[in-house]
Amino acid sequence: MAGFVAVLRKDLTLELRGGESTLALVALSILILIVMVFALNPAGGAADAPIAAGALWVAMIFAGMAGAARTVLAERDNGCLRALYLSPLDRGAIFLAKLAAASIFMVVAEAAVVLMLVLFFNLDFDLRLVRMLPALALGLIGFAALATLLAAISGRVHAGDLLMPLLAVPMYVPALIAGVKASAAALGGAQWSAMGQWLRIMIAFDVLFVAAGFILFEHLLGED
């Protein structure tokens, strides 16, 4: 537990001291949202809920790919991965700390994107946004877990920054499908019951990847 807190605090402190990267992540997320709007050309009106949901999730994933991996890649850049490996910290705790930090960064970016979404698509700040929150939260955690796991691999591999999306996208598909469906339903005014099955899938996904990361992270930290 102490290890988890220590690593998490370290990552957050680093970020607070040199916060430009979070700012850049927020900017990137919004830009991707704008690109999606141009690309999908929504007609304007209630029928746009699926398009808005899709654009939102694309922005989350592609910005997330850049941002969520930072917590691990920063370690590699500074030669700290070996230090982590040699430390007596529980490997699972390190993973959870990285996951938590990545989630926090993504939440900040997500909040900005949702705000922009409301503006661009002329939504209301009403219950429909609230009903979208569980899907966003679950999707975010799942992606952060996946990205943290994959970053530990792709960070150590030549041309790994190409490899990461290649692995991340197919693995994330169930959460993406479920997340977009649930978000579109929420934005369209549906009740909780309509989203139940999708949220269950996302919960299963999150449990799987958080557990997998927790158990397997130690194998990713070692060296030859």
Closest by CA to 53, choosing from 164, 163, 198, is: 198
Which residues, 102 to 121, sit near another protein by CB under 8 A?
Answer: none
The answer to the question of residue 128 lying near another protein (CB under 8 A) is no
Residue 187 structure tokens: 């934005």
Query: How many Å apart are CA 12 and CA 71, to the nearest integer?
Result: 9
Q: Does 49 bind another protein (CB under 8 A)?
A: no
Q: Closer to another protein at the Cβ: 26 or 217?
A: 217
C-beta of 168: minimal distance to another protein in Å? 9
Of the candidate residues 156, 188, 190, 199, the single one contacting another protein (CB under 8 A): 156
**Binder to another protein among 5, 133, 157, 192 (CB under 8 A)?**
157
Question: Contact between 169 and another protein (CB under 8 A)?
Answer: yes
C-alpha separations of 84 from 11, 102, 150 in Å: 13, 17, 17
Is there binding between residue 160 and another protein (CB under 8 A)? Answer: yes
For another protein, the closer of residues 9 and 219 by Cβ is 219
Kindly determine how many residues on this chain lie close enough to bind another protein according to the rule CB under 8 A: 33
Q: Stretches 22-30, 93-101, 106-114, 197-205: which one binds another protein (CB under 8 A)?
A: 197-205
Q: Does 65 bind another protein (CB under 8 A)?
A: no
Query: Closest separation between CB of residue 223 and another protein, Å?
Result: 6
- Closer CB to another protein, 118 or 171, in the complex: 171
> Would you say 57 and 26 are in contact if contact means Cβ atoms under 8 Å apart?
no
The string of DSSP letters for 74-137 reads HHHHTTHHHHHHHS-S-HHHHHHHHHHHHHHHHHHHHHHHHHHHHHHTT--SSHHHHHHHHHHH
Cβ–Cβ < 8 Å for 69, 148: yes
Binding site for another protein (CB under 8 A): 149, 153, 156-160, 163, 166-167, 169-171, 173-175, 177-178, 181, 197-198, 201, 204-205, 208-209, 212, 216, 219-220, 222-224
